[in-house]
Amino acid sequence: MGQPVREYLLTLCVTAAVTYLLTGPVRKFAIAAGAMPEIRARDVHREPTPRLGGIAMFGGLCAGLLVASHLTNLKSVFENSNEPRALLSGAALIWILGVLDDKWGVDALVKLGGQMIAAGVMVLQGLTILWIPIPGVGTVSLTPMQGTLLTVALVVITINAVNFVDGLDGLASGMVCIAAAAFFMYAYRMWFGYGIEAAAPATLFSVVLMGMCLGFLPHNMHPARIFMGDSGSMLIGLVMAAGAVSVTGQVDPDLLNVKAGGLREATHAMVPVYIPLLLPLTVIAVPVADLILAIVRRTWKGQSPFAADRGHLHHRLLEIGHSHSRAVLIMYFWSALIAFGAVAYSANNASMWIVLGIVLLSAVGLVLLLLPRFTPRTPRWAEWMVPPRYRRAVPATAPAAPEDEGAVEPEEEREPVPAGINGATAIGDRSRFVEHRRAESHH
């Protein structure tokens, strides 16, 4: 198992490095191309910021897949499955659509149609849901039409969930990176823990997705120097959906019964993916919740579900007093809690300690939400280990007295400043007094 881990780590590092190195030139290109839209009412940034960060992320995706295809263990994914090519085809289409939207703007219905076409291209190449394991019923095989519709719906929902949450610096890339890390742990366990080779593509997709987000995140943290734009948010949403579709629709539950040692053990192992539609909801539950709330809110107001507003969860965190960085960290916290909690529960759902830990961390998250102005302070002996904003304020010292306290400025050298003129006092603002005298002489 050591060799596969090293290959995954190499793929992760190459993807992150290529994305990071490409982002700087892409930023200069975006500025030269004029991909810097004006500030909108719903935006939280104050300066026009270039978009098109998805160009660098797509370059990282291609580099990661290229390197993986030449590694000893990972190249079997490309030899035994057509899913990597299906992912690359769909990613290219959604990326081109996003680039056009970042530069010139694309109608919401056109984007929705493009997302469905990209999902359909992946389905035609074999990346589709074949069956659904339903509790109490068993494995339900899907017809080609049912599998296509369910796959397209899952891809479109995930893409728009990630796109909707991309409202603060570093928010979407960080949350998707957390989700990808949790997803990798689950898929890796399915492949090497139970020996199910059908989980190999999903494991590779999650590693590449982590690299894309990690490479872009340093440029996108607050204050962001570049935004990923729709070319990036829709791209990482599609990669996440592809991994979910792969591990859900391709892993045979009956095979898992044999590998896990029985139906009960297999049921426990399949907890996060027992209902395929819930798999992406567990790893990106916060973005999907934001998406559902946005659709309900806008429909209730008689607006289009795709009409932008300032009612997203991250906007509400800012409104109740959280800083930009704190709002992002809180969203990170909840995403990690839900994603890793689901994975931990699937590994050992009989342990009460996991449930108690999730409940305790949820309580901590609620406290953080209710204390927007609380700033933790560290003991003075540990201040050198933390950023300056967490250090105690140093009391201001009194200004030093002049060497000769009795010395005063000669009376003839000091211009008198009478009190009551434009709010100036005898020791007040001299400039105001001079302007007042000039006005009087002019009259």
- In three-state form (DSSP H/G/I as H, E/B as E, the rest C), the secondary structure along the chain is CHHHHHHHHHHHHHHHHHHHHHHHHHHHHHHHHCCCCCCCCCCCCCCCCCCCCHHHHHHHHHHHHHHHCCCCCCHHHHHHCCHHHHHHHHHHHHHHHHHHHHHCCCCHHHHHHHHHHHHHHHHHCCCCCCEEEECCCEEEECCHHHHHHHHHHHHHHHHHHHHHHCCCCCHHHHHHHHHHHHHHHHHHHHHHHHCCHHHHHHHHHHHHHHHHHHHHHHHHCCCCCCCCHHHHHHHHHHHHHHHHHHHHHHCCHHHHHHHHCCHHHHHHHCHHHCCHHHHHHHHCHHHHHHHHHHHHHHHHCCCCCCCCCCCCHHHHHHHCCCCHHHHHHHHHHHHHHHHHHHHHHHHCCCCHHHHHHHHHHHHHHHHHHHCCCCCCCCCHHHHHHCCHHHCCCCCCCCCCCCCCCCCCCCHHHCCCCCCCECCECCCCCHHHHHHHHHHHHHC
Which two tokens mark 338? 């839900």
Residue 163 among known ligand-binding residues:
yes
- Pick out the residues of the known binding site: 163, 230
Residue numbers in the known binding site for Mg(2+) are 163, 230
